[in-house]
Amino acid sequence: GYGAVIGTISLIISGILAINEIQKQKPRVNVKLSVGFMFDLQQNRSEALIIVQAINTGRGSIVLNTFGFLLKDGAELVIHNPNMFQLPHTLDERRRFNAYFACRSFRENENQDNISKVFFRDETNTVWKARLTRKLRKEILQSSNKGYKVT
């Protein structure tokens, strides 16, 4: 009776703790979106940029090898030769990586109305994504073209 109940509860608790420990060891990437600018050495400002930040919050390093946008229907809009960053990129634990995409290029994209998320894919084919909020979309669409062009 009583010993079997305690034994069962102990087994369940140790199982939960083991699963929790395994989850902590897995890689995790947090993706954040914002709009901003870059400045050169003479303090000249770039045109408005979508800044996509990938932060490795898990254990171990991750190799990010694909960047792009997800459409509402699930299709991917992969950016093959990003200009201001290199892929693949090894993202060590507790490190961040920034990807930049010109707001102008986003506005000029024929699919921009259907873009719902931005994503990175790693070497294990895991997709790490962030949602493009209504507020951020409005900020991108209303952003200025002033400043030097980021091709």
DSSP letters, 111-127, are: TGGGEEEEEEEETT--E
Closest CA to 47 of 101, 112, 98, 97: 101
Task: State the pairing for strand pair 96-102/49-56.
Answer: antiparallel
Average pLDDT over residues 18-47: 87
**Residue pLDDT, tens place only, 79-111:** 988 878 899 999 998 999 999 999 999 999 999
Whether the CB-CB separation of 115 and 77 falls below 8 Å is answered with yes
Tell whether the model's pLDDT for residue 135 goes beyond 90: yes
What percentage of the chain carries pLDDT values higher than 90?
73
Tell whether the model's pLDDT for residue 50 goes beyond 80: yes
Average pLDDT over residues 17-40: 87
Label residue 49 by pLDDT band (50, 70, 90): very high
Q: 39 exposed, middle or buried (CB, 10 Å; 0-12, 13-18, 19+)?
A: exposed
